[in-house]
Structure 1
């Protein structure tokens, strides 16, 4: 039984998940690295910076002490950006409980080495403490979860009993959780959908229509599936909540940070200009780079990913990227 949960990361999604658990009356601690931000959260009982308008219940513990946050926690939910993930995990590892369930709720791939977040945790843990590693993913904007809008996601562990324990932990009257065992499939889907969402935003910024968006989502899903298959993922995962569901949401939703970045690029802004107008992290920008190198390493054909990479990192014009995608050699759809 999970008696205490620690949520590591006090951005919008971490706050929404901690709020969800606290509303259920569970013992939950929320950690953030920025002491000034955490002190404001504790005093005001509201995350005015990242998730304004939702009161944090008084029993929710808020701290900037990482070791204290994970002490005694049977479940630790990691919600820190992928580029700082390893550093935070390494710092908290000594304080983790034996047999703790480690849940990644981060949708990204590490830049150096192309590792998923569960792979990073496994490497840093060195098989100590018999920890179990899983992932929570699916179509879920933080603001809508905080507003108690009906939402469905998936949690996956190689150990299905662990997945079911986390499934019951998070499930509520408005938050439905499905259990699964395909960890890598969920992680690849969650990371790559952000890249495709940038492409969708670019198309919207160029004032393309619904035909374009539908084609992009469909072919984007094909690329995600190819990369996942190369890493041993289960094909059905990509048709589920963490695959197609999350992809559709992120490519079409106005709350999508990654689509917003693409929209700004398609409207003529440079990447630095687009990011300067963002108040929160758009994981897809860094993930494009890490997934591009991973695809190159595995020799997986991913033309949309390649064009997004060139727009972001080689200063390619958005119009030229679309043109080059449509001028490729014709092929069978299932090739």
Structure 2
């Protein structure tokens, strides 16, 4: 693919790693952020030490704090900002953007209050004559591994195949591979909801439980993620792909995952406020737990693991008591959730 001008909105760990992938592919990359010291560090030292202490970025990657300057003449915009500020940043983009671009996002969450997916927020805030169909870039990936060019396979999801194909070609190289899909709902719900299960998996580890418990929460967590996603209109097959079970495995088993680490700390008895203060990064699984719990209640979807995690985080219920409640639920057939999913289609 010929060189493209790409704006990456959000100089966090994932935004920085994806910027390097795009730069490796010969594209002109502009990272935008609103912390002057961070912007200056990227431009002057070619580092982003808050997230990567030992990584030196290519000096061709430029950082900006002026959004209009960042977006001038770009052919694509990649949103990698926290879910809670996505709508605000999208409004700012709409105010200064003066030409049509491909809009991508690589964030993983659901908006509090509205319960909306990120692509929906972007569709609402950026006029259709200024953008493509939204392309979701998501899958099993740790920024800490992508930044050192470890092998990574993820998904590009869009309602328009040509837009998904464009993004696939934009990112793909010898160490970073994308697959396309049209199931935007499935990819986005899987990306958001796996963070909730990862918090639970971390909590089990912090409590001292082993691999049996890890396998159980990942498998049963996938079942309830799928139930909710299919009820929202997703293809159930998406949840056994990279953006489903793949992302759940990587997020629910690794110390690289801030959601897993947050859960682990909860399991060891730390207070949530202290965990969030010490993390230094947004823990999307905490806010997504609230959204998922509310969605499950509204849509009458059985999500016992999510409900248990919600009760610990937002109702101060004892973790071990919540586990006992889960273990003593009414006995069921494992295949019941498959029957429920088929009934929703």
Class of the TM-score when normalised by the shorter of the 2 chains? over 0.9
Q: Does the residue aligned with 1:53 lie in a helix, a strand or coil?
A: coil
Alignment of 1:22-33 (within 5 A): 22-33=23-34
Name the structure 1 match of 2:322. 321
Name the structure 1 match of 2:342. none
Shift of 1:329: 1.2
- Using the size of structure 2 for normalisation, the TM-score is 0.94
In 1, the alpha carbon distance for the partners of 2:53 and 2:94 equals 31
Q: Which moved more, 1:320-329 or 1:66-75?
A: 66-75
Name the structure 2 match of 1:11. 12
Conservation of the 8 A alpha-carbon contact between 1:46 and 1:56: yes
In 2, the alpha carbon distance for the partners of 1:273 and 1:315 equals 15
Name the structure 1 match of 2:142. 141
Alignment of 1:147-296 (within 5 A): 147-296=148-297
Shift of 1:258: 0.3
Q: Does the residue aligned with 1:55 lie in a helix, a strand or coil?
A: coil
1:9-66 C-alpha deviation (Å, 9 max, x unpaired) = 0000000001111122211111111122211221111001112222221221210111
Instruction: Flag as ranges the 4+ runs of structure 1 deviating above 4 A.
Output: none
Q: Does the residue aligned with 1:274 lie in a helix, a strand or coil?
A: helix
Name the structure 2 match of 1:39. 40
Q: Which moved more, 1:208-217 or 1:96-105?
A: 96-105
In 2, the alpha carbon distance for the partners of 1:161 and 1:25 equals 21
Long gaps (5+) in structure 1:
none
Name the structure 2 match of 1:300. 301
- Using the size of structure 1 for normalisation, the TM-score is 0.97
Q: Which moved more, 1:69-78 or 1:227-236?
A: 69-78
In 2, the alpha carbon distance for the partners of 1:295 and 1:332 equals 21
Q: Does the residue aligned with 1:54 lie in a helix, a strand or coil?
A: coil
Conservation of the 8 A alpha-carbon contact between 1:136 and 1:153: yes
Shift of 1:126: 4.6
CA RMSD of aligned residues (A): 1.3
Name the structure 2 match of 1:54. 55
Alignment of 1:74-113 (within 5 A): 74-96=75-97, 98-113=99-114
Shift of 1:71: 2.0
- Change in Cα spacing, 1:58 to 1:324, as seen in structure 2 (3 Å) is same
Conservation of the 8 A alpha-carbon contact between 2:135 and 2:167: no
Shift of 1:130: 4.7
In 1, the alpha carbon distance for the partners of 2:98 and 2:239 equals 33
Name the structure 2 match of 1:311. 312
Shift of 1:2: 6.8
In 2, the alpha carbon distance for the partners of 1:322 and 1:40 equals 45
Q: Which moved more, 1:93-102 or 1:267-276?
A: 93-102
In 2, the alpha carbon distance for the partners of 1:143 and 1:155 equals 20
Conservation of the 8 A alpha-carbon contact between 1:73 and 1:96: no
In 2, the alpha carbon distance for the partners of 1:7 and 1:32 equals 9
Conservation of the 8 A alpha-carbon contact between 2:132 and 2:163: no
In 2, the alpha carbon distance for the partners of 1:148 and 1:97 equals 34
Q: Which moved more, 1:53-62 or 1:194-203?
A: 53-62
In 2, the alpha carbon distance for the partners of 1:52 and 1:169 equals 27
In 2, the alpha carbon distance for the partners of 1:280 and 1:296 equals 29
Shift of 1:197: 0.3
Shift of 1:274: 1.8
Q: Does the residue aligned with 2:54 lie in a helix, a strand or coil?
A: strand
Instruction: Give the total of aligned pairs.
Output: 335
Conservation of the 8 A alpha-carbon contact between 1:2 and 1:74: no
Long gaps (5+) in structure 2:
337-345
In 2, the alpha carbon distance for the partners of 1:299 and 1:100 equals 39
Shift of 1:250: 0.6
1:272-306 C-alpha deviation (Å, 9 max, x unpaired) = 12222212211111111112112222221111111
Q: Does the residue aligned with 2:34 lie in a helix, a strand or coil?
A: coil
